[in-house]
Structure 1
Amino acid sequence: MDIIYDPTYQMTLISGPATKITGTKRISVVVNDPQKDLIHYETRFRRTKRRLLRKRYQSADVVLAVSKGVRDKMIKYYGLADSLVRTIYYPIDTERIDRLLKEPSELLSDSNSNFNVICSGRLHSQKGYVYLIEAAHQLINIRKHDQLQFHILGQGPLREELSALIHQLGLEQSVHLKGFQMNPFSLIKQAQLFCLPSLFEGLPNTLLEAMVCEVPVLATDCPHGPREILKQGEFGQLVPLKDPTALADAIEGTMLNYDKWQALVPAARKRVEETFSLKIGMQKHEELFLELHG
């Protein structure tokens, strides 16, 4: 084996000592904000794991971040040398998405008058769905936008809690937990707006995929990824995180000025093709592998 490519911090904890013994080259990949990853996903021995991870990352041949924001946070949080940490964006297979978009799909809504907002991701506190549901409450129950329909794709540990909140707010007819979807793209394509309400990310693939599906996008300005992808709002909207009112205002603004946001769709797709494509990502990975192997 010439190179170990460990894609999670859990694997980094294991592969670090192993590659030290064998002398194998190692690339440690970081896909999320490292500090928030430990806070949200580790409940025991957090300080010990951080100390061990710092050593593992410092001993890697390359630490590979999926966004510039994650790279900057890795350098700061783990005290890594600038030269050790690089960025290669996670590649998006636009051709595969285009193929899946042609497959038959269920109808997202049975009414052409509905305004459909869609999200996709694991039902976990990281994804901020509680704030989106609270925004839906403001829009539907208070501002009386009855044409709004919210569709959340995915499964995870928060399903029961989110279902209870939807019931508590009387939103059973307007907010739908649609579970895991083998082909989410044909559903995303039917929506009028894709929303990413996350509290933190690394490089949110679902946001990039929605841009490929040519749907207007709205995302929280969370660390890290959305601002980098959307170029400070040039290709979609950014709102503060953990703010249901800001989300509601942005969704309402999209409804009232839909032509403005729909006009960004072609340029948004082109940005993914030119910056985050599979071809570009694979080429950069190949160059990195050859550099280390040589």
Structure 2
Amino acid sequence: GARCLGVLVGGVAAWQLAASQKRERFLQSFGTQAATALESALQERANARRQVASVAEEYREASRRVLHEVNNPLSIIKNYLSVLDSKLERQEPVTGEMSVLNEEIDRVGQLIGTLADIKPVETGPRAFDAVKVAEDVVRLFRAGQFVPGSVQITTALHDDARLVEGDADTLKQILVNLIKNAVEALAGSGGGRIEIANRGHVHRERRLFLELSVSDTGPGLAPEVMANLFTPVKSTKDGAHRGIGLSIVHGLVKKLNGHIACRSGRTGTVFEILLPAWSGASAAPALPARALGSV
């Protein structure tokens, strides 16, 4: 049952043969130790190869994610340069557009920094205004010529619950991905409506969350797509909400210590996001969270 790693061959003169035969046990012991050392070396080499392959795959995956995410601010920059050109021709002020361009250029730098594992200095828990982030993202899409005439973006953002814990840029990245997916899905199916809503505070797992939703009136998702919704898969032209983008969204929501789920049917798709409410916020009335699934 033992595995044969090789054959150890040695040569002796004829007059040494009798003495060598008397040392057969020693030679067998030497052969066993040599085989053990060789097997250990082979195992270490195999482990090293697996580790190198794993690290290489991690970097490939990180590169794919960064490439996907960098495309979002680059698309915004491209569209806003077009807006800027039009406004300059009409001699209109462009302060707002320049501010957006500066922000998106900074975001490209931050995203590229994640590939090199450049981490910002930890500053502890921070509060930010989720409603303002949502409003800014919607304004970004409306003003930047991203949305075709057949697609309408509406908001239902209430002021009574808006502060959450975490990083505003992370939520911006989440919403840009989801709204961009929804716009592409609706544009490919004849148009429709997208709504970004703030549903107020909810309780889940003995903690207070703010619930946001991004919904569209598209054709919905196929069961096979729903089954692997947050798993990185290759995007297809006719696959709305698909591809690596949603796996990135899922990771970003987890980064904010939140939860995300999706409901989809023939009348549309809804992504529901729970984000930890800022602990310093005033205690507003909160409802129990609806079942969001185990994602």
TM-score (norm 2): 0.25
Instruction: Name which one, 1 or 2, has greater alpha-carbon Rg.
Output: 2
TM-score (norm 1): 0.25
